[in-house]
Amino acid sequence: MTQTVPSGIDEIGLLPGSHVCAFYRGDHDRDRLLHRYLSAGLVAGDKCICVVDSAFTAKRLQSLTRASSEAGYSTGQLDIHLPESTYLAGGEFTASDMLTFWTEGMIKAQHEGYSFCRLAGEMTWALRDAPGVENLVGYESELNRVTSSYPVVVLCLYDLDLFSGEVVINIVKTHPQVLVQGILVENPYSVGPDEFLRSSRI
């Protein structure tokens, strides 16, 4: 399958397997991106799995998406999680556990009859003082391997008001596509998982 799917954001189409990072400023901008991205998935009949940073955001997102996509929305189509049960389950970040979480979610969706998945992660949890968060860049690189094997698009959300430019630089290096200012910037030089492992061993 090589046709693009609508991202829901600024008429941007994404190829299956896309792993996109998006930069935004503040809660309003985050909600706008997530709302449009997930609503497009719900209307298309995709399984949507999303991790947001607070219960408040989860509740607001649930109501936003429900209101805007009643025509295509079905119970269980949208799963919203918090970092405590995903990225930081057990009080620490373990990249392999998180990759397993996404993979199992996609396999379960396939068993439930969904032919396409739409994943999203608000990455603000990485600023918490928890063990393992220093492995974020390696995780992002490894996620490229997962996304290339499934009918899925992934959106990783980074708040520019919270993350430093150095993190932005490193995150861009590991994402094949970057969404900024309504423009999808292709990054053909993104660091793949094998390359990242090689460089981190040096």
Partner 1 sequence: MTAEPTAPDNVAALAGPPVAATDENLRERLGEFRALLVISLLMTESVSEDQILDLAASSAPGLGRWRIDGYSFTDGQWRPGTGPASPLPGGLAGQGASPSRCGGRAGCSAT
Q: How far is the CB of 165 from partner 1 (least distance, A)?
A: 3
Work out whether 191 is an interface residue with partner 1 (CB under 8 A). yes
Eight-class DSSP state of 132: T
Decide: 57 and 122 in contact? Cβ < 8 Å: yes
Residue 23 engages partner 1 in binding (rule: CB under 8 A) = yes
Our finding on whether 187 is near partner 1 (CB under 8 A) is: yes
Q: Is 160 in the site for partner 1 (CB under 8 A)?
A: yes
- H-state helical runs in the chain: 26-44, 55-68, 95-111, 136-147, 165-174, 193-201
- Residue with Cβ nearer partner 1 (15 or 185): 185
What sign for the dihedral angle of Cα 48, 117, 89, 175? Answer: negative
75 binds partner 1 (CB under 8 A): no
Stretch that binds partner 1, among 43-51, 63-71, 102-110, 177-185 (CB under 8 A): 177-185
| Beta strands 117-122; 19-24: pairing state | unpaired
Q: Cα 36 vs. chain centroid, distance in angstroms?
A: 14
Q: Is 55 in the site for partner 1 (CB under 8 A)?
A: no
Can you tell me which of 76, 111, 113, 166 binds partner 1, judged by CB under 8 A? 166
Residue 168 binds partner 1 (CB under 8 A)? yes
Q: Is 164 a residue that touches partner 1 (CB under 8 A)?
A: yes
Cα 132-191-163 angle, rounded to 5 deg: 50
- Which is nearer to partner 1, 86 or 144 (by Cβ)? 144
- Angle (CA) 185-36-99 rounded to 5° is 70
Give the footprint of partner 1 on this chain (CB under 8 A): 23, 160, 164-170, 172-173, 178, 180-181, 183, 185, 187-191, 195
